[in-house]
């Protein structure tokens, strides 16, 4: 009877995509359900998985909107390596 809620930012894994594809969602559902079967013996038919896609403006990290935080971290990294 597990319920797995997966929250991810609404982004694609390649530049030409702007969100998670149906195939990627199916892979997440399959992977999580099989993990719960393997680790906790939970039958697949008793596992719900819900994927919640969140706009990047609606996701905060480091006190900043997600994309702004990423730029900040990338700039810090570049400065440290220069």
Considering the rule CB under 8 A, would residue 35 count as an interface residue with a second copy?
yes
Give the interface size with a second copy as a residue count (CB under 8 A).
53
Based on the shown chain and the rule CB under 8 A, indicate whether residue 10 belongs to the binding site for a second copy: no
Instruction: Choose which of 16, 45, 81, 82 interacts with a second copy (CB under 8 A).
Output: 45
Residue of 2, 15, 43, 65 marked catalytic: 2
Q: What is the 3-state secondary structure (H, E, C) of 4-53?
A: EEEEEECCCCCCCCCCCCHHHHHHHHHHHHHHHHHHHCCCHHHCEEEEEE
First to last CA, the chain: 51
Residue 15 a catalytic site member = no
DSSP state of 63: T
Minimum CB distance to a second copy smaller for 50 or for 75? 50
Does the protein bind a second copy through residue 31 (CB under 8 A)? yes
């Amino acid at each position: 009877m597990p319920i797995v809620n997966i929250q991810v930012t609404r982004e694609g894994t390649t530049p030409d995509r702007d969100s998670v594809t149906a195939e990627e969602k199916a892979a997440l559902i399959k992977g999580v359900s099989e993990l719960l079967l393997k680790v906790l013996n939970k039958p697949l038919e008793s596992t719900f998985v819900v994927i919640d896609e969140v706009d990047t403006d609606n996701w905060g990290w480091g006190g900043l909107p997600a994309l702004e935080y990423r730029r900040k971290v990338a700039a810090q990294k570049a400065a440290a390596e220069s």
